[in-house]
């Protein structure tokens, strides 16, 4: 199935300066129960409609990552990502994470391949604090860091409005649970639950693309 060449605006993903703090937290981890979305189900079924739906829903994210990491090849790389994903659709496991994160993992590999073809190398991230996004200090590159920032934005956007607001107050505004409860008028227990579930969602997106 041929994919249309589209023109994308580059979304403002936001810079997460404290990504490691976002996925750690001090509360007990929460296992997020995820249902397969209609797009993911259609994509796994192998129907052309499933590919078209996945492209319509996630091509903006993929293209944004490609455009920021390798601007001159962004359109071609976006096409390559979706063709590769379609051929490997049997490997998509929704229990490990959402389709968006799986596609970002493929995108990172395609960008690295493009750099190698150009005879270029992607330098490693030298700041150890920036290498611990998921509590493991493995070799990371600026492409990994950019992908993580985009996925954090994607994960936040997927949260219900109240939970997203609570998580943003906790990690962007650096407010305590008590301050958030005072500012929003929500019960403290609700604040803690929203933050735990938000952390689980963020971790799920980030781990699926690693």
End-of-domain residue from the set 86, 121, 156: 121
Residue 36 pLDDT: 76
End-of-domain residue from the set 70, 91, 121: 121
Is pLDDT above 90 for 148? yes
Cβ-proximal residues to 136 (8 Å cutoff; 6+ apart), any chain: none
The pTM assigned to this predicted structure is: 0.77
Residue 191 pLDDT: 97
Matching residue, tokens 């493995």: 138
Domain CATH number, residue 43? 1.10.1740.10
pLDDT tens digits, one per residue of 10-68: 233 333 333 334 444 444 445 555 567 899 999 999 988 999 999 999 999 999 999 99
3-class secondary structure, 166: helix
**Full residue range of the structural domain in which residue 134 is found:** 125-210
Domain CATH number, residue 179? 1.10.10.10
Question: Based on the structure, what is the number of domains in the chain?
Answer: 2
Measured distance CA(78)–CA(156) in Å, rounded: 23
Residue 8 pLDDT: 31
Cβ-proximal residues to 6 (8 Å cutoff; 6+ apart), any chain: 59, 63
pLDDT tens digits, one per residue of 165-199: 999 999 889 999 999 999 999 999 999 999 999 99
Closest C-alpha among 130, 122, 88, 127 to residue 105: 88
Q: Is residue 10 part of a domain?
A: no
Same domain, 134 and 177: yes
Q: Is residue 206 part of a domain?
A: yes
Residue 124 pLDDT: 55
Q: Is residue 117 part of a domain?
A: yes
Measured distance CA(67)–CA(154) in Å, rounded: 17
Residue 141 pLDDT: 85
Rg of the chain (C-alpha set):
18
Q: Is residue 8 part of a domain?
A: no
More confident residue, 195 or 8: 195
- Is residue 50 within 8 A of residue 44, CB to CB? The reply is yes
Same domain, 179 and 104: no
> For the residues of 8-67, what is the DSSP string, one character each?
---------TTHHHHHH-SSPP-----PPPHHHHHHHHT-HHHHHHHHHHHHHHHHHHHH
């Amino acid at each position: 199935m041929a994919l249309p060449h589209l023109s994308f605006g580059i979304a403002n993903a936001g810079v997460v300066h404290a990504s490691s703090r976002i996925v750690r937290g001090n509360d007990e981890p929460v296992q997020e129960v995820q249902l397969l979305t209609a797009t993911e189900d259609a994509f796994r079924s192998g129907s052309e409609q499933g590919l078209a739906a996945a492209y319509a829903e996630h091509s903006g994210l993929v293209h944004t990552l490609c455009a920021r990491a390798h601007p001159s090849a962004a359109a071609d790389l976006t096409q390559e990502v979706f063709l590769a994903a379609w051929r490997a659709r049997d490997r998509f496991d929704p229990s490990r994470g959402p389709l968006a994160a799986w596609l970002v993992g493929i995108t990172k590999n395609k960008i690295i391949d493009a750099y190698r073809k150009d005879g270029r190398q992607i330098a490693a991230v030298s700041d150890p604090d920036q290498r611990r996004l998921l509590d493991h200090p493995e070799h990371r590159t600026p492409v990994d860091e950019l992908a993580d920032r985009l996925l954090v934005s994607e994960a936040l956007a997927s949260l219900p409005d109240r939970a997203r607001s609570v998580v943003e107050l906790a990690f962007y505004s650096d407010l305590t649970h008590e301050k958030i409860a005072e500012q929003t008028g929500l019960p403290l227990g609700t604040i803690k639950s929203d933050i735990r579930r938000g952390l689980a969602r963020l971790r799920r997106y980030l781990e699926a693309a690693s």
